[in-house]
Amino acid sequence: MRLSEKSLSQLPASVARPAFDRSKVIGSIVHLGIGAFHRAHQAMFTDAVLASGDLAWGIVGAGVVSADMKNALGPQDFLYALAEMGADSENVRVIGSIVGVFGGVEDADSLLAKMSDISTRIVSITVTEKGYYLDPATGKLQLQAPAIAADLAAPETPKTILGLIVQALKNRKAAGILPFTVLSCDNLPNNGKLAKAAVLAFAREVDADLALWIKTNVCFPCTMVDRITPATTDADRAHVAEVLGLDDAWPVVTEQFVQWVIEDQFTMGRPDWTVGGAIFSDEIERWENMKLRCLNGAHSTLAYLGQLTGRETVADAMQLPLITVILDPLWVEIRNVLDAPKGVNPAEYVESLKQRFRNPALKHRTAQIASDGSQKLPQRLLAPLRDRLDKGLSSPMIATAIAAWMHYAVKMAYTPDDGFNDPLAVDILARARLSTDAPSIVDHLLALDKIFGLDLPANADFRALLIEKFVELAINPTLATAAQIKV
């Protein structure tokens, strides 16, 4: 039997479920990008708000590219199980904060209508780094990206998140309805500011007055989001079905740790997410930098080294002495230029990350984290690198991490069943194949200005260090780097 409103009563007593009247919940938050992360994170915080008795804040989700989530959750009244896994304990609960899901391009018209409606007070987003169509090095909107160009050619029938947000705001302005808040929940530094820059750049192309109105009237709070949430597997589905005694087409498996820090700027009010443990703070940039550099920076490093050592999951990669020998000093380099939030001890923060990465219950694939490197390296590793360069400090471990990404790219360039996911894949792989000589490979990849800007390739000391680390990794017998590389 399938999980649904009707079958809730059959769940074992150990499984917590919504105790509020879901039929009274108002869908006032539209969430764009309803994947596993959103359902492990924001939807859970919002579920706590509803459980506290405030039914004004339900979520209407949208799969921006596909209808898969709508098809999975629709038949189960949008309920799903959230399995929070620790090293030796687990907690499975049913979340009820999602009250509707739009699916992909075919629902774009109804999604736009909902976003234009006065009932929508917040539009939140998790579309990953590349979903903002910003150039990673310059932060400029990629007007030539096919999806953006298509939306600009037909702005009244938008398909991208930027087109949808701008057109919905245009409709609201015309109807005299207050604008919603745009709440970015992606792993980008100053995510609210970047979302604002992307929306304004798009709006300027459509209507200069509208752009000005958005600039003056719409809030784009920044947020720091954190919860390690691997993609759901069939094994997860089977496990959750066993615990529930019911089938759930798309449960979420996550860790027990969760953190959400939000800048408190909302145009039409907001739920009291603190009841679920969220923090409202005006130190958001510090929180974001600590998380992006310490957690995500190390995560990417582990993912590339894990891929080069044949370790499929983060927990497996954490067992390798080679990796911890690199990670520990990497964290020191990052921490030395970190401006941590008040009251947070970065050394303790890093210790807690080690525990989280070692969690054997999470099968977090290094291949998943290794994807989209071009979009991730700048904020995760290049930002602390630049801070160190400004202070005249050398960064051998950050250079090692970047060299590991380069080796991963070269390896994938020579792997016939290409599994290299990156919006810049074609360019990266072509450059990785241009030469077999180690220093030239580094030069060709370092010349990707969309990732490294113009400053890093021009820095002779950094270039030399990067080549040194690239060669070190190439001759390390525990790493399976591409055989073609000549050192």
Residues near ligand CS2 (CB under 6 A): 187, 226-228, 295-296, 299, 368-369, 376
Number of neighbouring beta carbons within 10 Å of residue 15: 17
Nearer to ligand CS2, 115 or 185 (CB): 185
**Nearby residues of 233 by Cβ (< 8 Å), 6 or more positions away:** 253, 363
- Distance separating alpha carbons of residues 369 and 367, to the nearest angstrom: 6
- 194 within 8 A of 379, measured Cβ to Cβ: no
Residue 418: is it exposed, middle or buried by C-beta count within 10 angstroms (0-12/13-18/19+)? Answer: exposed
Nearer to ligand CS2, 99 or 252 (CB): 252
- 367 within 8 A of 304, measured Cβ to Cβ: no
- 165 within 8 A of 30, measured Cβ to Cβ: no
- In the complex, what is the shortest distance from the CB of residue 36 to ligand CS2, in angstroms, rounded to a whole number? 10
- 59 within 8 A of 66, measured Cβ to Cβ: no
Nearer to ligand CS2, 187 or 190 (CB): 187
- In the complex, what is the shortest distance from the CB of residue 258 to ligand CS2, in angstroms, rounded to a whole number? 9
- 232 within 8 A of 253, measured Cβ to Cβ: yes
- In the complex, what is the shortest distance from the CB of residue 177 to ligand CS2, in angstroms, rounded to a whole number? 34
- In the complex, what is the shortest distance from the CB of residue 447 to ligand CS2, in angstroms, rounded to a whole number? 24
| Of 364, 356, 128, the residue nearest 229 (C-alpha) | 364
- In the complex, what is the shortest distance from the CB of residue 473 to ligand CS2, in angstroms, rounded to a whole number? 21
Nearer to ligand CS2, 187 or 359 (CB): 187
- 27 within 8 A of 100, measured Cβ to Cβ: yes
| Of 321, 412, 333, 336, the residue nearest 373 (C-alpha) | 412
Distance between first and last Cα of the chain: 60
Nearer to ligand CS2, 125 or 389 (CB): 125
- In the complex, what is the shortest distance from the CB of residue 130 to ligand CS2, in angstroms, rounded to a whole number? 12
- In the complex, what is the shortest distance from the CB of residue 255 to ligand CS2, in angstroms, rounded to a whole number? 9
**Nearby residues of 469 by Cβ (< 8 Å), 6 or more positions away:** 396, 399, 400, 402, 403
Nearer to ligand CS2, 181 or 223 (CB): 223
- In the complex, what is the shortest distance from the CB of residue 359 to ligand CS2, in angstroms, rounded to a whole number? 11
- In the complex, what is the shortest distance from the CB of residue 172 to ligand CS2, in angstroms, rounded to a whole number? 32
- 257 within 8 A of 277, measured Cβ to Cβ: no
- In the complex, what is the shortest distance from the CB of residue 257 to ligand CS2, in angstroms, rounded to a whole number? 9
CB-closest chain residue to ligand CS2: 299
Nearer to ligand CS2, 69 or 482 (CB): 69
Nearer to ligand CS2, 170 or 299 (CB): 299
Tokens of 480: 């399976």
- In the complex, what is the shortest distance from the CB of residue 368 to ligand CS2, in angstroms, rounded to a whole number? 6
- In the complex, what is the shortest distance from the CB of residue 376 to ligand CS2, in angstroms, rounded to a whole number? 6
Nearer to ligand CS2, 224 or 337 (CB): 224
Nearer to ligand CS2, 59 or 377 (CB): 377
Nearer to ligand CS2, 226 or 316 (CB): 226
Nearer to ligand CS2, 205 or 288 (CB): 288
